[in-house]
C-alpha cells in the first residue's frame, strides 16, 4: 500500500501502462516536458520519449482523429483533452467516428482509444473549465465512460481503460486531483471490474448514488444524516456507461429510497436515466419518488457563484429530507 | 516541379478557375499554378522534366490495364446508377469523369500502403481489389461497408466529410512508430516494405477544419501521408470558388510540404505524380498534397439535379477532356491496343455489370442482432438487456407472416 493523490495515481497508472505495453502511447497538449496542466503526465516523456508521450498541435479534433488512426494501426492511444469544455472541437470525431467504427465495420475494426478529460467544477476557474459533459457521451452508443473517485480506483481504472478493446472516455474529477488515499499497486482487489459500482458506505434507510467529484460530498452528507439517526447507503457509480443498474437496484430494494446527485445539469442527465430505470426495476420497493440533485439548466455559472450551482452536502441532505417526507 | 506543365489558364475551360488564378496573381503575386500533364486531350504524350521518367516505366500492359480499369469502373458506375433508378439502391454517388484521378492514383499505391477514401472512390476500390458488389451494400442499406479493410488496406467509406483525414495521419504516425520499433529491435532479414498512407477528399471537403488539422499534424510529425484532393469543381451545387481563393495545391505551401496540381483526367500523369508522392512519403520525406484537377461530369448523387446550378455547356467542355477517350486515342495511335482489346473490355464490362446486378438483387438485409453484437467489442450489460427484450418481444410474433413482426 502506498499513499498518493489521484493525480499521482493516474500518473503511476499511465507509467505502468507505458511500461507494460509497447504499443501504448499518450498524446495531448502540453503533456510532454510540462507534464500536462495538472502534471498528470509529469516525468513520463523523460522515461518513455517523445514517440510515446506526444505533445500535439493545439487541435482537439486532430488529437482524437489521429488517435483513431493510430488505433487502426494497432496502437493503444491515450489522448488527453486539457479541459472538459474543450472536448467539443473533437466531439465530431468522438461521436461520428470513434463510437461507430466497430459497429460500421461489422466488427472487423476495433479502436481502443482512451480519452482522458479532467471535468467538473469547484476550482474557481474561468468559463469552459468546470463543466460535466458526461451525459452527452453516455447518450452515444459505442462509448464507455468511467470516472474514478479515489486514488486506488484511479490507478487501476486508467490501466483497465487502456486494456479495454472499446473506446473509453476517462473523466478525471479535477477538484479531487489532490485527494490522497491508499493505493495497492500489487492488486486491483475490489477495483477489478471498472464497470461495476461500489457501495462505499452501507446503510439501510436511503441510497445516494454519486460518482467522481461528488463521492466525498455524499459521504459527508451521509455522516451528517447519521447524526439525525438516518442510515444512508452511498454508491460510487464508477462507470457512467454502462451503468451498473443491478447494484443500484439491489440497494434500493433494501433501502426503498433513492437520491442521485451529479454536477451536470439535472435535465437530460444521468440522474434521470437512473430514476427511470430504477422506477421500472424496483417500483414496488420504492417508498418515494427518485430525487435528482444536479446543476441547474444554465451554462456553468461564473466562479464566484458556483457554490450556489454545485450540489453540496446541504443539497443532498435536502433531497434526503424530501424523500423521507413520503 | 517540371518544366512543361501547361498553365491551367490554357487548359481548364472553366472561367471560374481563370478568375481565381488572375485574382491570386493580382493580389498575392502568386504565379499561375502549373499543372502536370503528360497525356493531353488529343491523346498525345508530352514530356515533363520530373514525371516523364515515371511515365516511361509504364509498359503496354500497364497502359492497357489503366484503360480496362477506367472502362470497368465507368461501366460499374452506369450499372449502379441504373440500379438506383430501379429502386435497388437508395442512393448512388457517380464518379464518371474522375476515372483517371482514381485509377491512376490507386494503381500507384502498393499493397502495404493504406488508403482512406471518402465516398466516391469506387475506382480506387477497384485498384485495391475490393469486391465491387460490397461497395453497393452501403447504398442499398444493408451494410455500412461490406468489406474488411484489413484484407485490402482500403478503409471504409467515410460520409462525414474530411473526418477520415486525421485518421490517415494517425495511421501514418503508427507506420513511423512501427519502423522505429523495428529499427530499435534490430530486426534482421528482409524488413517489411516501407508503407505510406493516402487519403482522398474533395474540393468541398477541403474547407473542413479536419483537413487543416490533419495537414498541421502531418507536417509537424513529417508523417508518411499523401493527401489526394480530387477537385471536381462542384461540392454538390457550390463551385470551387466558394471553397478557395487560390488553387488548392498552393495550400500545401502554408503547411510546409509539396503541393502538386495534376491533370486529373490524365491517367498517366496522375499515376506518375502519385507514385512520386507515395515514394516521397515512404522514404520518410513527409507529406504531399496532390490536387487532381478534374470534373464531376454527372450529378453529385442520384438525388441531385445539376441543371439547377450549372450550364450543360460546361459539362460538354469537360467531356472533351474525357480520360478514357484520350487514352484510347493514344493506345490506338501507338498500336498498343487493337479492336479486339476494346471489344474485350466492353464484354468484360457487361460481365461485371451482370455480376453487380445479380449480387445486388441477392443482397439481403442483415439480422439486426448483428448490430447488437457489433456495438461493443466486449460484453455490455445494457446491450445484453435490450437484446434479451428484443428476443422476447420478437417471440411474441412467432407464427405471424414474415416481415410483419419485429422478429425475423
Task: Look at B376 and A56 and tell me if their CB atoms are within 8 Å.
Answer: no
Task: Look at B217 and A70 and tell me if their CB atoms are within 8 Å.
Answer: no
Name which of A106, A196, A270 to mutate to probe chain B: the one with the most chain B Cβ atoms within 10 A of its Cβ: A106
Q: What are phi and psi of A83, to 5 degrees?
A: -145, 150
Given CB atoms, is A102 within the 8 Å cutoff of chain B?
Answer: yes
The beta-carbon contacts of B327-332 under 8 Å, at least 24 apart in sequence, are: B327/B39, B327/B43, B327/B63, B327/B66, B327/B67, B327/B70, B327/B100, B327/B267, B327/B268, B328/B43, B328/B67, B329/B42, B329/B43, B330/B39, B330/B43, B330/B44, B330/B45, B330/B63, B331/B63, B331/B64, B331/B67
pLDDT number for residue B28: 61
Number of Cα atoms under 13 Å in the Cβ half of residue A70: 32
Chain A residues close to B172, C-beta within 8 Å:
69
Unique residue bearing C-alpha cell 461493443: B376
Which residues 206-265 of chain B have a CB within 8 Å of chain A?
A: 209-210, 213-214, 216-217, 220
Helices then strands, counting H and E runs in chain B, come out as: 17, 9
Q: Which of B261, B294, B268 is nearest to B34 (CA)?
A: B261
Task: Look at B174 and A142 and tell me if their CB atoms are within 8 Å.
Answer: no
Task: Look at A65 and B376 and tell me if their CB atoms are within 8 Å.
Answer: no
Q: Which residue of A has its CA nearest to B151?
A: A108
pLDDT number for residue B401: 62
Task: Look at B163 and A92 and tell me if their CB atoms are within 8 Å.
Answer: yes
Q: Which of A56, A66, A106 sits opposite B374 (nearest CB)?
A: A106
Q: Is the dihedral of CA A98, A100, A102, A104 positive or negative?
A: negative
SS3 content of chain A, % helix, strand, coil (to 5): 40, 20, 40
Which residues 306-325 of chain A have a CB within 8 Å of chain B?
A: none
DSSP 8-state symbol, B362: T
Q: Which of B145, B174, B377 sits opposite A69 (nearest CB)?
A: B174
Q: Which of B149, B177, B220 sits opposite A108 (nearest CB)?
A: B149
Given CB atoms, is B173 within the 8 Å cutoff of chain A?
Answer: yes
Alpha-carbon distance B315 to nearest alpha carbon in chain A (angstroms): 35
Annotated catalytic, A129?
yes
Alpha-carbon distance A73 to nearest alpha carbon in chain B (angstroms): 6
Distance CA(B1)–CA(A232), nearest Å, equals 76
Task: Look at B375 and A141 and tell me if their CB atoms are within 8 Å.
Answer: yes
Unique residue bearing C-alpha cell 485495391: B128
pLDDT number for residue B14: 58
Q: Which of B252, B204, B246 is nearest to B227 (CA)?
A: B252
Task: Return the number of CB contacts < 8 Å for A and B.
Answer: 141
Given CB atoms, is B154 within the 8 Å cutoff of chain A?
Answer: no
Task: Look at B377 and A245 and tell me if their CB atoms are within 8 Å.
Answer: no
Task: Look at B175 and A73 and tell me if their CB atoms are within 8 Å.
Answer: yes
State the burial class of residue A136 (Cβ atoms within 10 Å of its Cβ: 0-12, 13-18, 19+). middle
Q: Which of B166, B371, B377 sits opposite A165 (nearest CB)?
A: B377
Distance CA(A9)–CA(B321), nearest Å, equals 64
Which residues 330-369 of chain B have a CB within 8 Å of chain A?
A: none
Q: Can you spell out the DSSP letters for A71-117?
A: HHTT-EEEEEPSSGGG-GGGHHIIIIIITTHHHHTTTS-----EEEE
Q: Is the peptide bond before A242 cis (omega within 30 degrees of 0)?
A: yes
Distance CA(A187)–CA(A200), nearest Å, equals 19
Alpha-carbon distance A269 to nearest alpha carbon in chain B (angstroms): 17
Instruction: Please give the share of chain B, as a percent, with pLDDT higher than 90.
Output: 83
Given CB atoms, is A65 within the 8 Å cutoff of chain B?
Answer: yes
Distance CA(A218)–CA(A11), nearest Å, equals 26
Alpha-carbon distance A55 to nearest alpha carbon in chain B (angstroms): 10
Which residues 182-211 of chain B have a CB within 8 Å of chain A?
A: 209-210
Task: Look at A104 and B145 and tell me if their CB atoms are within 8 Å.
Answer: yes
Which residues 141-200 of chain A have a CB within 8 Å of chain B?
A: 141-142, 144, 164-166, 195
* pLDDT profile of chain B (408 residues), mean per 10: 40 61 68 87 94 95 98 98 97 96 98 97 98 96 93 98 98 96 76 92 97 98 98 94 94 97 98 98 97 94 91 90 97 97 98 97 94 98 98 91 50
pLDDT number for residue B403: 53
Unique residue bearing C-alpha cell 509498359: B59
Q: Which residue of A has its CA nearest to B177?
A: A51
Task: Look at B175 and A104 and tell me if their CB atoms are within 8 Å.
Answer: no
Which among A102, A128, A129, A297 is annotated as catalytic?
A: A129
pLDDT number for residue B33: 74
Q: Which residue of A has its CA nearest to B214?
A: A62
Alpha-carbon distance A48 to nearest alpha carbon in chain B (angstroms): 13
Given CB atoms, is B8 within the 8 Å cutoff of chain A?
Answer: no
Distance CA(B207)–CA(A121), nearest Å, equals 35
Given CB atoms, is A272 within the 8 Å cutoff of chain B?
Answer: no
Chain A residues close to B149, C-beta within 8 Å:
105, 108-109
DSSP 8-state symbol, B79: H
Chain B residues close to A51, C-beta within 8 Å:
177, 180
Distance CA(B162)–CA(A292), nearest Å, equals 40
Given CB atoms, is A70 within the 8 Å cutoff of chain B?
Answer: yes
pTM attached to this predicted model: 0.94
Low-confidence ranges of chain A (pLDDT < 50): none
Alpha-carbon distance B219 to nearest alpha carbon in chain A (angstroms): 10
Task: Look at A65 and B156 and tell me if their CB atoms are within 8 Å.
Answer: no
Q: Which of B167, B371, B376 sits opposite A65 (nearest CB)?
A: B167
Q: Which residue of B has its CA nearest to A58?
A: B213
Amino acid at each position: 500500500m502506498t499513499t498518493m493523490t489521484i493525480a499521482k495515481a493516474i500518473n503511476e497508472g499511465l507509467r505502468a501502462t507505458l511500461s507494460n505495453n509497447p504499443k501504448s502511447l499518450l498524446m495531448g497538449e502540453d503533456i510532454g516536458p510540462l507534464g500536462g496542466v495538472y502534471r498528470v503526465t509529469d516525468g513520463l516523456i523523460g522515461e518513455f520519449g517523445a514517440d510515446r508521450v506526444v505533445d500535439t498541435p493545439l487541435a482537439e479534433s486532430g488529437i482524437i482523429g489521429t488517435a483513431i488512426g493510430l488505433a487502426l494501426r494497432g496502437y493503444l492511444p491515450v489522448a488527453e483533452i486539457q479541459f472538459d469544455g474543450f472536448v467539443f472541437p473533437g466531439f465530431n470525431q468522438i461521436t461520428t467516428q470513434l463510437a461507430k467504427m466497430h459497429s460500421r465495420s461489422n466488427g472487423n475494426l476495433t479502436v481502443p482509444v482512451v480519452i482522458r478529460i479532467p471535468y467538473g467544477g469547484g476550482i474557481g476557474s474561468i468559463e469552459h473549465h468546470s463543466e460535466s459533459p458526461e451525459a452527452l457521451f453516455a447518450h452515444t452508443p459505442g462509448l464507455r465512460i468511467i470516472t474514478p473517485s479515489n486514488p486506488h480506483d484511479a490507478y487501476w481504472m486508467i490501466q483497465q481503460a487502456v486494456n479495454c478493446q472499446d473506446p473509453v472516455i476517462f473523466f478525471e474529477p479535477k477538484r479531487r486531483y489532490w485527494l490522497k488515499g491508499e493505493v495497492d499497486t500489487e492488486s486491483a482487489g475490489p477495483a477489478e471490474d471498472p464497470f461495476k459500482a461500489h457501495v462505499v458506505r452501507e446503510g439501510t434507510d436511503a441510497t445516494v448514488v454519486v460518482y467522481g467529484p461528488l463521492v466525498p460530498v455524499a459521504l459527508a452528507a451521509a455522516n451528517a444524516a447519521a447524526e439525525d439517526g438516518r442510515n444512508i447507503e452511498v454508491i460510487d457509480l464508477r462507470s457512467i456507461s454502462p451503468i451498473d443498474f443491478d447494484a443500484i437496484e439491489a440497494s434500493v430494494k433494501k433501502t426503498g429510497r433513492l437520491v442521485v446527485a451529479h454536477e451536470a445539469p439535472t435535465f437530460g442527465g444521468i440522474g434521470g436515466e437512473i430514476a427511470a430505470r430504477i422506477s421500472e426495476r424496483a417500483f414496488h420497493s420504492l417508498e418515494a419518488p427518485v430525487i435528482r440533485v444536479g446543476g441547474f439548466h444554465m451554462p456553468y455559472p461564473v466562479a464566484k457563484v458556483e457554490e450556489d450551482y454545485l450540489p453540496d452536502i446541504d443539497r443532498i441532505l435536502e433531497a434526503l429530507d424530501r424523500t423521507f417526507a413520503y | 516541379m517540371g518544366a512543361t506543365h501547361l498553365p491551367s489558364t490554357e487548359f481548364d475551360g472553366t472561367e471560374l478557375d481563370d478568375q481565381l488564378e488572375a485574382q491570386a496573381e493580382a493580389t498575392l503575386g502568386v504565379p499561375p499554378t502549373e499543372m502536370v500533364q503528360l497525356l493531353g486531350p488529343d491523346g498525345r504524350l508530352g514530356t515533363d522534366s520530373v514525371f516523364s521518367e515515371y511515365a516511361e516505366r509504364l509498359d503496354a500492359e500497364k497502359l492497357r490495364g489503366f484503360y480496362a480499369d477506367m472502362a470497368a469502373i465507368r461501366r460499374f458506375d452506369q450499372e449502379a446508377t441504373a440500379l438506383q433508378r430501379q429502386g435497388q439502391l437508395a442512393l448512388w454517388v457517380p464518379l464518371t469523369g474522375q476515372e483517371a484521378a482514381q485509377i491512376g492514383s490507386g494503381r500507384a499505391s502498393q499493397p502495404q500502403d493504406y488508403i482512406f477514401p471518402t465516398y466516391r472512390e469506387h475506382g480506387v476500390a477497384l485498384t485495391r481489389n475490393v469486391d465491387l458488389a460490397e461497395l453497393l451494400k452501403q447504398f442499398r442499406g444493408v451494410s455500412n461497408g461490406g468489406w474488411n479493410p484489413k484484407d485490402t488496406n482500403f478503409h471504409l467509406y467515410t460520409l462525414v466529410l474530411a473526418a477520415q483525414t486525421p485518421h490517415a495521419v494517425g495511421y501514418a504516425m503508427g507506420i513511423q512508430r512501427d519502423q522505429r520499433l523495428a529499427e530499435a529491435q534490430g530486426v534482421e532479414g528482409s524488413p517489411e516494405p516501407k508503407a505510406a498512407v493516402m487519403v482522398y477528399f474533395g474540393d468541398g471537403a477541403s474547407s473542413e477544419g479536419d483537413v487543416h488539422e490533419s495537414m498541421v499534424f502531418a507536417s509537424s510529425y513529417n508523417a508518411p501521408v499523401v493527401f489526394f484532393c480530387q477537385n471536381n469543381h462542384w461540392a454538390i451545387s457550390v463551385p470551387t470558388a466558394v471553397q478557395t481563393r487560390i488553387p488548392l495545391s498552393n495550400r500545401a505551401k502554408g503547411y510546409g510540404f509539396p503541393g502538386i496540381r495534376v491533370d486529373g483526367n490524365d491517367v498517366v500523369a496522375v499515376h506518375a505524380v502519385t507514385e512520386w508522392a507515395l515514394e516521397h512519403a515512404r522514404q520518410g520525406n513527409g507529406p504531399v498534397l496532390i490536387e487532381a484537377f478534374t470534373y464531376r461530369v454527372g450529378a453529385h448523387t442520384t438525388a441531385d439535379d445539376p441543371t439547377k446550378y450549372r450550364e450543360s455547356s460546361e459539362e460538354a467542355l469537360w467531356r472533351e477532356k474525357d480520360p478514357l477517350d484520350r487514352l484510347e486515342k493514344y493506345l490506338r495511335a501507338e498500336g498498343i491496343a487493337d479492336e479486339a482489346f476494346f471489344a474485350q473490355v466492353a464484354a468484360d464490362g457487361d460481365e461485371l455489370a451482370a455480376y453487380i446486378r445479380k449480387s445486388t438483387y441477392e443482397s439481403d438485409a442483415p439480422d439486426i442482432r448483428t448490430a447488437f453484437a457489433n456495438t461493443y467489442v466486449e460484453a455490455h450489460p445494457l446491450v445484453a438487456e435490450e437484446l434479451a427484450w428484443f428476443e422476447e418481444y420478437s417471440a411474441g410474433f412467432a407464427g405471424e407472416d414474415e416481415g410483419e413482426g419485429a422478429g425475423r
